[in-house]
Structure 1
């Protein structure tokens, strides 16, 4: 369904019924379809499941202003979305950039979050303090900063560079096809340009914002983009309970590559911290 907000419209999947709402946030270059295996499992377990396309992705709006893609703007979208859907608090789950947006939502509206689950990407401070191996794996972030140059390089030869980066993505062809749409690639890259400019990537490690537990961090040992330290280091930025789970033998796209394990971890975490989410 389409939900019109104050300055952008979002495409949203919402099963509309169930207890203890769950809000699922995808990352680059995905859409809400990243969560299709989780939506089925969570729905079967009786949860209300809400999965939007974030601004700039999929069928949601694509603002022209490059600064509009900062994670805080997406967090503001989600606050409005929950209000429109008459949802008070949620179990919040983010993967990749969805993890950063989830943390931004916790920063601005902590009482809307009953539990926080971070898949692949941990706290920003942990990422930026994870050492040179993490910086080496993050080389592409600097490429993505170069407006125009990055679009040309990434899309050249039918998105050959992107396809190489997405080699482990089960939906790589679909992701590349979506980015062929008018301004879709620039919009999708906007979150890197607004959220991780060079002064952030190579500046001092920020102090906050800190995360209020309970927080679940899940990392996979085949992730080519992120080190384990970038997730385990999240514990230093959490006030309260932090649980770390390592998934063996899969790459970056945990919800698609290890759906049964992800479903198991999320449902167990929600059961343990299940009294706080609701309408």
Structure 2
């Protein structure tokens, strides 16, 4: 469905009944990256709400870089929950979606029943992971360079995009969608607005702790994120913290190892659903 908000219109998949679970994708995905989780959650008695973030998939693409600051996506999601009649929700985020749901949890903690973070942990833990993590995050600096990053990803028949997303189970579809006319710059803008160089390499500001319960889920084949950047998130959680790792899966663990992800997620949600 299309849900019209104050600033943008989002493409949203809303299925099932019961306690609500908001599933938030990251770069360069859409709500379709949750296609293995939605039926499992619905069958277990949960309602799933899975939007395309602004700038991705079928949702609107604002023209300015500033429009992609994560605070705007947080506002979108809170307004979406209001429009869909949801007061309290379980948050699940992958990649950039993890960062966005963390900010949502800090913005409106009383609306959050639980917080599940896939692949990307707390920004404080990311900083604590040191230069190894920064070395793995080389592409974040490249993505800051408007025009150059777009050229790098699309040159030679999108060869670099294919290599960068080599482990993505939907690589061909994702590259085609990402490099379609008008799609690439909005998708990259989430990096430009959300993680400018000073945020990654400048002095770190103290972060407020996340209110538990929080689940952190990392996969051993992730070539973008070190384990410490997720396992260390517990230091930044006030309350219940649970860490799980999945061997053999890459960055898109919810697509590569759906049965294991679903089992862990359903167990965690059941523990924190009245």
State the TM-score, normalized to the length of structure 2: 0.98
Distance in 2, matches of 1:204 and 1:244, equals 27
| Cα distance change, pair 61–242 in 1 and its aligned pair in 2 (3 A) | same
Q: In the aligned structure 1, how far is the partner of 2:164 from the partner of 2:223? A: 9
How far, CA to CA, are the matches of 1:100 and 1:29 in structure 2?
14
Distance 2:29 2:188 in 1: 12
Supply the RMSD in Å over aligned alpha carbons: 0.8
Compute the displacement of 1:183 (Å): 1.9
3-state SS of paired residue (2:249):
coil
The SS at the match of 2:121 is coil
| 1:106-255 pair list within 5 angstroms | 106-255=105-254
1:29 Cα offset (Å): 0.3
In structure 2, what is the Cα distance between the partners aligned to 1:188 and 1:28? 7
Cα shift at 1:182: 2.3
Q: In structure 2, the residue corresponding to 1:19 is in which secondary structure?
A: coil
Separation in structure 2 between the aligned mates of residue 175 and residue 210 of structure 1, nearest angstrom:
34
Offset, 1:129: 2.1
Deviations 1:25-52 (A, max 9, x none): 0000000000000001001111100000
For residue 2 of structure 1, what is the aligned residue in structure 2?
2
Cα distance between partner residues in 2 of 1:202 and 1:110: 28
SS in structure 1 of the partner of residue 36 of structure 2: helix
| Structure 2 spans left out of the alignment, 5+ residues | none
TM-superposed CA distance for 1:70, in Å, is 1.1
CA deviation map 1:109-161 (0-9, x unaligned): 11111000000000011112211110100000000000111101111122211
Q: Distance in 1 between matches of 2:205 and 2:50?
A: 29
* TM-fit CA distance, 1:171: 0.4
* Higher mean C-alpha deviation, range 87-96 or range 200-209: 200-209
Counterpart Cα distance in 2 of 1:162 and 1:233? 30
User: What stretches of structure 1 move > 4 A for 4+ residues in a row?
Assistant: none
Deviations 1:143-190 (A, max 9, x none): 000011110111112221111111111001111111222221100001
Whole-angstrom CA distance in 2 between matches of 1:266 and 1:5 = 29
**Tell me, what secondary structure is at the counterpart of 2:204?**
coil
SS of the residue corresponding to residue 267 of structure 2 reads helix
**1:82 aligned onto 2:76:** no
Alpha-carbon deviation of 1:207? 1.1
The question of whether the paired residues in 2 share the 8 Å contact of 1:129 and 1:205 is answered with no
Look up the match of 1:36.
35
> What is the TM-score with the length of structure 1 in the denominator?
0.97
Cα distance in 2 for partners of 1:158, 1:90 equals: 42
CA distance in 2, matches of 1:43, 1:74: 25
What residue ranges of structure 1 are gaps of 5+ in the alignment?
none
Q: Is 1:63 the equivalent of 2:53?
A: no
